[in-house]
Structure 1
Amino acid sequence: MSKKHNKIIILLAVIAGFLLWLFFRPMKIIAVHHMEYYSIILVEDYPFTDKGKIEWWLKNKSMLKAKYAVPHPEADGSYNVILWDFDEGYKEDDGYDSLCFDDMKPPLNCVDKNALMTISRDKYSVTDFTVDDGVYVLKKNGLIVKTKSD
């Protein structure tokens, strides 16, 4: 092989390695906040696909309950958990479209409203996931079925 072909192969290997790292990096939980009827999880390095986000929740649900008391069900068993993008970090309230936390002192107690996924369970124990591509329902048999799209 020529030097040109070797350089191309090395470049392709580096690109492939970067893409693999990008898709398989673990999601980081930065903080958890509890609001009136919601648990808010601020995350970085979230999965890109709806399937990846839902799988992350299912794999980490027990850890979240033990470590962060998430979800925090209401008396009827219902709950709402929202994963928010924390890539930009805590910010000052922009007076327009920030989500601010009462359990932190201002001015750096807000994040941009960029929800990645909402997990909701109703009083009938039906769990659904609202993600970029629509709403998915977790059936009693463990199947996840898409119910609607935007």
Structure 2
Amino acid sequence: MKVNYKTTLFALLFFACLLLSCVLWLSLRTVEIVAVHENDNHSYILVKNFPLTEQGKINWWLKNKKMLSVTYNIPKPTQDGFFTVIFWDFGDGYKETDGYDRLCFEDMKPPRNCIDKNSLMSVVSSKNTGLYFRLDSGKYYIKESGNMEKRKYE
């Protein structure tokens, strides 16, 4: 059997370009804020097209925290500075409660006032811990110097 190296090289180059195009497209999508729900000092932001990487999610917050404050009045810290902002994947949209594991919002009328629980990132600030980000692989703390420290879950 004779191997045609030009055909093989072309196929590999084509798939590499296709993969690069997909990664580029995914990274350049605009984050869409679908809705914001609040409960005291907790804010729940429902999003589509949130960044895929943990660093991308943190960078998105850092770049957009002023816009969130101006547009949505988020975060809403308590007197001692505590707040939590949780970004949820809007996924397939609002659904009816399953009576078990969906997050339902009291500021909406049932039956379609719930979403599947798919948390993308939490941003938390308190007097004791300072600002940190909760992500799948651990917590990222912002130190006073501005540097970030990652602590894995135990």
Query: Does the alignment reach a TM-score above 0.5?
Result: yes
Corresponding residue SS for 1:109: strand
Deviation, 1:20, is 1.1
Contact 1:72 1:79 in 2 (8 A): yes
Residue type matched to 2:96 in 1? E
Structure 2 residue aligned with 1:86: 90
Structure 1 residue aligned with 2:47: 43
Contact 1:77 1:125 in 2 (8 A): no
Distance in 2, Cα, partners of 1:42 & 1:110? 11
Structure 2 residue aligned with 1:104: 108
Contact 2:102 2:117 in 1 (8 A): yes
Distance in 1, Cα, partners of 2:85 & 2:25? 27
Deviation, 1:88, is 1.9
Q: 1:123 to 1:4 in 2, by over 3 A?
A: closer
Structure 2 residue aligned with 1:61: 65
Q: Which one has the largest radius of gyration?
A: 2
Identity score, percent: 45
Deviation, 1:123, is 2.5
Unaligned runs of 5+ in 2: none
Residue by residue over 1:47-99, the C-alpha shift from the partner in whole angstroms, topping out at 9 and shown as x without a partner, is: 22211111111111000000011101112111111111111211111100111
Residue type matched to 1:93 in 2? T
Q: 1:125 to 1:68 in 2, by over 3 A?
A: farther
Residue by residue over 1:23-50, the C-alpha shift from the partner in whole angstroms, topping out at 9 and shown as x without a partner, is: 2322211111111331000111112221
Is 1:28 matched with 2:32? yes
Is 1:135 matched with 2:111? no
Structure 1 residue aligned with 2:152: 148
TM-score normalized by structure 2?
0.87
User: How many correspondences in the alignment?
Assistant: 150
| Pairing partner for 1:17 from 21, 30, 37 | 21
